[in-house]
Amino acid sequence: SRSINLAVVPGDGIGQEVVAQGLKVLAAVLPQDVKLETKEYDLGAQRWHRTGETLPDAELDSLKKHDAILLGAIGDPSVPSGVLERGLLLKLRFAFDHYVNLRPSKLFPNTATPLAGRPDIDFVVVREGTEGPYTGNGGSLRTGTPAEVATEVSLNTAYGVERVVRDAYERANSRPRKKLTLVHKNNVLVYAGHMWKNIFDKVGQEYPEVTTDYLHVDAATIFFVTQPERFDVIVTDNLFGDILTDLAAAVTGGIGLAASGNINPTGEFPSMFEPVHGSAPDIAGTGKADPTATILSVALLLRHLGYESEAVRIEDAVAADLAGRTPEAVRTTDEIGDALAVRVAS
Amino acid sequence: SRSINLAVVPGDGIGQEVVAQGLKVLAAVLPQDVKLETKEYDLGAQRWHRTGETLPDAELDSLKKHDAILLGAIGDPSVPSGVLERGLLLKLRFAFDHYVNLRPSKLFPNTATPLAGRPDIDFVVVREGTEGPYTGNGGSLRTGTPAEVATEVSLNTAYGVERVVRDAYERANSRPRKKLTLVHKNNVLVYAGHMWKNIFDKVGQEYPEVTTDYLHVDAATIFFVTQPERFDVIVTDNLFGDILTDLAAAVTGGIGLAASGNINPTGEFPSMFEPVHGSAPDIAGTGKADPTATILSVALLLRHLGYESEAVRIEDAVAADLAGRTPEAVRTTDEIGDALAVRVAS
Ligand SMILES: CC(C)[C@H](C(=O)O)[C@@H](O)C(=O)O
Ligand SMILES: CC(C)[C@H](C(=O)O)[C@@H](O)C(=O)O
């Protein structure tokens, strides 16, 4: 009989609330014969305040044994910026070699977008997750003095770039439009940028059916608002992917809807699924958080674990729910979760 | 009697065409008693193909003697990406210590924007111009092999950050709303990010009337499309500024309208003014390029040299011209330049 052994890291702020809805929908969509086991991990701001720990080795070892991780949100204004992001969220992504940070963007019918003309948006960003400017490689000298020097080193390897580029080609090849865009800034970041472009071109020879193009990151942001329908699959570096996917979320209905998967395609480590949004401490506890991004992340989780039809059921339920939303009928976090749980169960 | 000794670098693609219009308007707006001398520099793709040179020392020395530089656009697909950008454009910005890269964004009435609801946009980005990931500090090892490693080092100094932050506070303080937003990514790029934030807070104590806030760069892109009216002055690093100002241009009518000044506030070196757009080789020679961005850059140039009323005359002329534009009446580069020259002269 089948089973899913899931680690749950609610984290901070609205994390707890949205994860609860994700679990509700997960329980509702799973076939009877699948045994769902969950274990909750107390990690985040409160833990840090209490113990000074962000992610102890024992917890990391324990997390490693799960089939997948569902994460809510990490970060709180009471903790110095970077402590939890680097010490917990990025530590997980790096330790579990989540080199494919998958972020689909789709403008569902009836969903508000700041763009006039409601373009037809349906693309996915494959963001590199384990290299680039995110490695934490840098430092500062004479910190806090007028003579301070601070560096941030973007580390990029052919090993790391090729595997994520290959993953992106595979995804592009399996989609109807078969189009892949590389985004970088190779006219300025010439070392990393040329390596990315060379590997992109080289791997592309193995995918003759995939149409490719290249955009500088600055130009890409222009197309995100003027011509987002031109994109199918985008592959890009860790930092550019961070920036572009928030912008993508904004033009497709907001970060309340943006899902993501931090994927380790080899299966050596558990993959981790989380909404793109942060912990939103300003609305925590008010019931205003939209759990849809987390619920769509659960769909990505199910797809990753091989439950394709269940993933589609969640996505269809979300599309139907969004189609029925009206600006007047504002629902709570819980009510949206309930509505989606009902839809996927039926 | 007054005089302006201007260096002109038309550069590549549409550079020549738009710069011609900028000079036309400049000549038309200047009072009779101001003697305008211009010297054209043959730099860019053609020069590189002919001689292999991007910016020889002799030319750099000669450029240094001018009061200001007007630049069209640099870059061509026939030249490997980065050669002209690093060897010419960025070399000028770095050699002449253009630490304030000034990029105003304003949504003029009657101008097309991809944003529904036509928000009231009027902000200016103060982009650091001489540090960050743009220093060219990096390298690659085992280039072209599967074992390649490529680095890009972002270099940041308290010296460099403080002077640009101070410039941004001055600008914010002189504007009606007196609001300054720092954009960085200090939850990930903790070394550079914390230095920026600390200096931002410290200098802020000298400007008690300026309201401040901080945004991560990913969140900033969201607000650029959902709430751009919230911004007044933004100060940010070289790379984030590059990305944000293209997005800003896109939401305020496109890069055909976006002006910029690469400013050396001390006056030790000539400042350089250029449209934010590139060389657009696809439309070069067709008369389709909009010279407005270059003409607005001429306004920034005049303001920098102390010709405030002439700068305002150009900006007013552009506003009036845009107000009268209709989608049906498409004008050539030359016709737009002529129309603006007539307006500023009257
Ligand atoms: C919280 C932060 C470290 C994180 C990132 O920069 O990757 C977030 O913005 C994201 O996109 O998941
Ligand atoms: C051409 C390129 C080097 C340049 C930059 O990245 O600064 C351009 O994009 C700009 O914004 O002026």
pLDDT level of residue A75 (50, 70, 90 thresholds) = very high
Task: Compute, in angstroms, the gap from residue B85 CA to the centroid of ligand 2.
Answer: 7
Domains and CATH numbers, chain A: 1-99+259-346 (3.40.718.10), 113-139+151-252 (3.40.718.10)
Helix, strand, or coil (residue B35):
strand
Rg (CA), chain A: 20
B61-78 pLDDT, tens digit each: 999 999 999 999 999 999
DSSP letter for each residue of A84-111? HIIIIIHHHHHHTT--EEEEEEE--TT-
Average pLDDT score over residue span A306-312: 98
% pLDDT > 90, chain B: 96
Task: Compute, in angstroms, the gap from residue A240 CA to the centroid of ligand 2.
Answer: 16
Task: Compute, in angstroms, the gap from residue A42 CA to the centroid of ligand 2.
Answer: 45
Residue B227: enclosing H or E segment and its boundaries?
none
Which residue owns the Cα nearest ligand 1 atom 7?
A242
Residues of A in contact with B114 (CB under 8 A): 115-117, 225-226
Nearest alpha-carbon partner for A295 in A98, A82, A17: A17
Amino acid A1: pLDDT: 72
> Is any ligand 2 atom within 6 A of the Cβ of residue B91?
no
Nearest alpha-carbon partner for A133 in B193, B213, B102: B193
* Contact call for residues B318 and B340 (beta carbons, < 8 A): yes
Look over chain A and give the mean of its residue pLDDT values, rounded to a whole number: 97
Question: Which comes out higher in pLDDT, residue A298 or B110?
Answer: A298
Residue A190 is nearest to which of B86, B189, B218, comparing CB atoms? B86
A245-261 pLDDT, tens digit each: 999 999 999 899 999 99
Q: Is B77 annotated as a binding residue?
A: no
Distances from the Cα of B171 to the Cαs of B131, B231, B235, B236, B242, in angstroms?
21, 13, 10, 14, 19
Question: For residue B89, what is the DSSP state?
Answer: I
Give yes or no for A221 touching B (CB within 8 A).
Answer: yes
pLDDT at A328 over 90: no
Residue pointed to by tokens 């699948």: A34
Amino acid B109: pLDDT: 86
Amino acid B62: pLDDT: 98
Task: Compute, in angstroms, the gap from residue B343 CA to the centroid of ligand 2.
Answer: 31
Nearest alpha-carbon partner for A156 in A177, A125, A126, A131: A131
Nearest alpha-carbon partner for A73 in A340, A272, A333: A272
Mutation test residue for ligand 2: of B103, B242, B244, B297, the one with most atoms within 8 Å of CB: B242
Helix, strand, or coil (residue B139):
strand
Residue pointed to by tokens 């019918």: A109
Using left for φ > 0, alpha for ψ between -120 and 50, and beta otherwise, residue A263 falls in: beta
Give yes or no for B183 touching A (CB within 8 A).
Answer: no
Residue A157 is nearest to which of B148, B192, B198, comparing CB atoms? B148
Residues of A in contact with B152 (CB under 8 A): 133, 153-154, 156, 189, 191-192
Nearest-Cα distance to chain B for A112, in Å, is: 10
Mutation test residue for ligand 2: of A183, A184, A188, A222, the one with most atoms within 8 Å of CB: A188
Using left for φ > 0, alpha for ψ between -120 and 50, and beta otherwise, residue A71 falls in: beta
Nearest alpha-carbon partner for B316 in B11, B25, B5: B25
Q: How far apart are CA A63 and CA A57, in angstroms?
A: 10
A45 Cβ partners below 8 Å, 6+ apart?
A12, A75, A76, A78, A79, A84
B226-279 pLDDT, tens digit each: 999 999 999 999 999 999 999 999 999 989 999 999 999 999 999 999 999 999
DSSP letter for each residue of B39-87? EE---SHHHHHHHS-SS-HHHHHHHHTSSEEEEEE---TTS-TTHHIII
Average pLDDT score over residue span B94-116: 96
Catalytic residues of B: 134, 185, 218, 242, 246
pTM: 0.97
Disruptive mutation site among A89, A137, A148 for chain B (greatest number of B CBs within 10 Å): A148
Amino acid B346: pLDDT: 76
Q: How far apart are CA B91 and CA B57, in angstroms?
A: 11
A106-119 pLDDT, tens digit each: 999 899 999 999 99
